[in-house]
Chain A
Amino acid sequence: MKEHLLKKDNVKALCIKASEQWETYVPAEVTGADVHFMRLNRNNKDSILEQLNLDYESLVVPPKVILYPQLESLFEFQDENITETVKPPVKKLLFGLRACDVKAILFMDEFFRRSFEDIYYLNKSRDKLLVIIGCKQPLDNCFCTSAKTGPFLETGFDLQLVDIGADYLVEIGSEKGEEFINSYREFFDEASKDNIEIAKIVKRDAEKAVSLKVDFEEAIKKFCEDKVPQQIYETIAERCIYCGGCLYVCPTCTCFNVFDTQSAGSGARYRNWDACVFGGYTREASGHNPRSEKWIRTSRRYEHKMKYDYLTTGMSGCVGCGRCLASCPVNIGISQIIEEVTES
């Protein structure tokens, strides 16, 4: 498919136009300079676009929050009668994702479809357009090149934008992406040979700029062969302060808790993000806990990403985004464990 060009000056107008047909999410700065994916709506689209930041270094929470929020109502009830609260499917445009986060979204799509379909997630995710803006400035924590999840992808996206200066080179990754360009033709130009050449250089430079490199494949091998010394887990389990942060921010973590709340016969059932390192995660009503020791829970936490996800899907659950390290108050990150495992 042909490459196109999107002038940076056209981006805001494109988003506004697209938001008439698509529920549009863009990365925007909020108070304190953090960047979050925010939905454009009638009242605030201008103020959000004023804070648009496509060059963000990293998001504290991944874009999974759009498809799988931290708290979600499953249904409401009044005097034993249930009212469903799941919203009907709406097509979504996620504009300005990073490659690693797109890999994670594809991973989550497959998970929520597997065996039983999860309507809450799938209604949000079923019809979406994923637009990558590849990373130019990876952080110290990132290791996407080792995990083969960035800074640019070959497949899995609908559109991929490469920052070549005043413009973005637009690569089309799917029919949906092509249709989108056709629908908003007025915002796109044809890319020249020069544009395409520059884009190649930009991509190559971005790859080189990823400083943290780990032997990801070797690590997966070691995990799958159960060759991870227990000592590594024990050390982590002792230092960990059990905030749950690394799992809450992980773009492929999907575990949740379910709880009811009611008052005078009226209430709701919700689900919310959970974390497998907590003791209560496996504790049964009788008090018996198959993972009562901390190191066992820690081992589960890492094996899930590096072994079991790989065995089930062929893709590791870790996309090398570095968020777990960034959100850990005591400086534990999966990249360090991978380094330890491959060195030992």
Chain B
Amino acid sequence: MKNEYIPHPAVIESVQTESFDTKTFKIAFEKKALAESFDYKPGQFVQVSLLGVGEAPISIASCPGRKGFLELTIRAAGKLTRAIHQREPGDKIHLRGPYGNSFPFEEVAGKGLYFIAGGIGLPPLRGLIKSALYGRGNFGKIKILYGAKTPDELCFKEELKTWKQMDNTEVYLTVDEPNQSWQGDVGVVTKLWDKANMTTSDGIAYVCGPPIMIKFVVMNLLKSGFKDENIYITLERYMKCGIGKCGHCNIGEKFVCTDGPVFSYAQLKEFPDKEKTIT
């Protein structure tokens, strides 16, 4: 029987600063064989450990097409993530996974893909965005709506520019509090709705961000013609095991770590209101 709780040693290969409290870590497993064979799907997460400090779930932000490494975009919010931020390239870290379900991808070939993210909500979608852009021809229109509190807090600033250049791909950005040099839109991400022309009947939406943002985005998506079963939201919860045992991420009879973290709006509607999944 496999011991699911034992994490594997890995090394931080590089660190990229995204904003004042967010960094992207490129990590590779120490064991070459594991590094090469480690496979995952966009939407999944890994349990990241610093031995002696703790373990937390982090969504995989890299795209599975590129083997040998993972990218994790981490905001320094708690004890563990703050400690990870102190680490530098060459330092050791431990990972286990991948866990969770994934975004529907191959099944939505030919459809228009709509990504709506807020702040630290973009990294979980990034792997899917990049996979879609690599296989550009397989999908219809791709629209990315992304908002953050300040221009500094936008993740993947350079990549956003690259994505904008791609064929049949639109990128709309907005911030709550602009600075002097900000030229773009101001306001919450739903303000971009009309500009981005979000009306569709069979488009697939992927949403990730703070709970309050998800609530309003979903309202808009429904008004714009998106079907319940075509809206996908990735949920965040406090997790300890990642494998449906410790109980912390349970909602109703489901576990966010094994039945999710990706849920369709059709599924989320069935959850009890008091669990506040989309409020």
Contacts and interface: CB of A to CB of B under 8 A. Distances in A.
Interface of A: 74-75, 77, 80, 82, 84, 86, 111-112, 114-120, 122-123, 226, 254-262, 265, 267, 269, 271, 274, 276, 281-286, 288, 290-291, 296, 299, 304, 307-309, 311-312
B227 interface: no
Interface of B: 1-7, 9, 49, 51-56, 77-81, 92, 94, 211, 236-238, 240-241, 243-248, 250, 252-253, 258, 272, 274-277
A119 B246 contact: no
A80 B87 CA distance: 14
B253 A80 contact: no
A84 B6 CA distance: 8
Chain A residues touching B, majority SS: mixed
B267 to A, nearest CB: 15
Given A256-B245, A259-B54, A260-B55, 4 more contacts: A117-B4, A258-B241, A262-B52, A285-B79
A250 to B, nearest CB: 12
Contacts of A84: 3, 6
A119 B54 contact: no
A285 B81 CA distance: 9
A284 B244 contact: no
Contacts of A276: 247
15 contacts: A77-B51, A82-B94, A84-B6, A117-B4, A119-B2, A119-B3, A119-B4, A255-B247, A256-B240, A256-B247, A257-B246, A267-B52, A284-B238, A285-B78, A309-B253
A308 B250 CA distance: 10
A62 B213 CA distance: 45
A200 B159 CA distance: 76
Contact of B211 (A259, A269, A288): A288
Given A118-B4, A284-B237, A285-B78, A80 B245 contact: no
A56 B241 CA distance: 36
A197 B110 CA distance: 73
Nearest to B247: A255
B54 to A, nearest CB: 5
Contacts of B211: 288, 290
Given A258-B55, A259-B54, A288-B211, A116 B1 contact: no
Nearest to B4: A116
B243 A115 contact: yes
In the A-B complex, the 6 residue pairs with the closest CB atoms: A262-B52, A285-B78, A255-B247, A116-B243, A308-B253, A285-B77
Contacts of B237: 282, 284, 290
Contact of A269 (B2, B51, B274): B51
B244 A258 contact: no
A81 to B, nearest CB: 8
* Central interface residue in B5, B78, B246, B250, by most chain A CB within 10 Å: B5
A207 to B, nearest CB: 32
Contacts of B243: 115-116, 118
Contacts of B94: 80, 82
B275 to A, nearest CB: 6
Contact of A74 (B5, B248, B258, B275): B5
A201 to B, nearest CB: 41
B128 to A, nearest CB: 23
A258 B1 contact: no
Contacts of B248: 255, 274, 281-282
B46 to A, nearest CB: 15
Contacts of A254: 245, 247
Given A80-B9, A117-B4, A260-B54, A299 B274 contact: yes
Nearest to A307: B253
A296 B253 contact: no
A112 B6 CA distance: 17
B24 to A, nearest CB: 18
* Central interface residue in B1, B80, B244, by most chain A CB within 10 Å: B1
Contacts of B258: 115-116
B121 to A, nearest CB: 12
Contacts of A75: 5-6
A290 B9 contact: no
A304 B272 CA distance: 13
Nearest to B77: A285
Contacts of B7: 82
Contacts of B77: 285-286
Contact of B52 (A120, A265, A281, A288): A265
A274 B244 contact: no
Nearest to B211: A288
A311 B240 CA distance: 24
A175 to B, nearest CB: 23
Nearest to A114: B244
Nearest to A282: B238
A71 to B, nearest CB: 14
Contacts of B81: 285
Given A118-B4, A119-B3, A296-B274, A311 B253 contact: yes
A288 B212 CA distance: 11
A114 B257 CA distance: 13
A261 B244 contact: no
B244 to A, nearest CB: 5
A117 B2 contact: yes
A136 to B, nearest CB: 35
B240 A258 contact: yes
A180 B245 CA distance: 33
